[in-house]
Amino acid sequence: MAIRRVLIFVFFLSGSVSAYAQDVLVRLSGCMLNDSSFERRRACGIAFERSLDSLLNDANGWNYPLDTIRFISALTAPDNAFKLITWNVPHDDGTFGFYGRIRFANKSAVPIRIIRLNDARNSISKPQTKSLNAENWFGALYYKIIRTKHKRKTYYTLLGWNGNTALSNQKIIDVLQVSKDGRVTFGAPLFEDTKAGKYRVVLEYAEQAAVSLRYLETDDVIVFDHLVPTNPLFEGQFAFYSSDFSNDAYRFEKGKWKFIRNFAAKNERDFRPEDFKKPEKGIKR
When pLDDT is averaged across residues 124-146 and rounded to a whole number, the result is 96
The pLDDT of residue 111: 84
Instruction: Count CB-CB contacts under 10 A for residue 28.
Output: 28
pLDDT tens-place string over residues 159-204: 999 999 999 999 999 999 999 888 999 999 999 986 668 999 999 9
The answer to whether 85 and 72 have CB atoms below 8 angstroms apart is yes
Q: Where are the beta strands (DSSP E) in the chain?
A: 73-76, 82-90, 96-104, 114-118, 132-133, 141-150, 153-162, 168-178, 184-186, 191-192, 201-206, 213-216, 221-229, 241-253, 256-260
- Which of the pair, 86 or 269, is modelled with greater confidence? 86
Query: What kind and span of H or E run contains 134?
Result: none
Q: What is the pLDDT of residues 63-85, one digit of tens each?
A: 888 988 989 999 999 999 999 99
224-282 tens-digit pLDDT? 999 999 999 999 999 999 999 999 999 999 999 999 999 986 665 555 554 455 544 33
Between 277 and 55, the more confident residue is 55
Q: Give the β-pairing of 191-192 and 256-260.
A: parallel
**Domain range summary for the chain, segments of one domain joined by +:** 1-59, 73-267
Q: What is the CA radius of gyration of the chain?
A: 19
Q: List, in sequence order, every residue forming a beta bridge with 188; answer none if it has no partner.
A: none
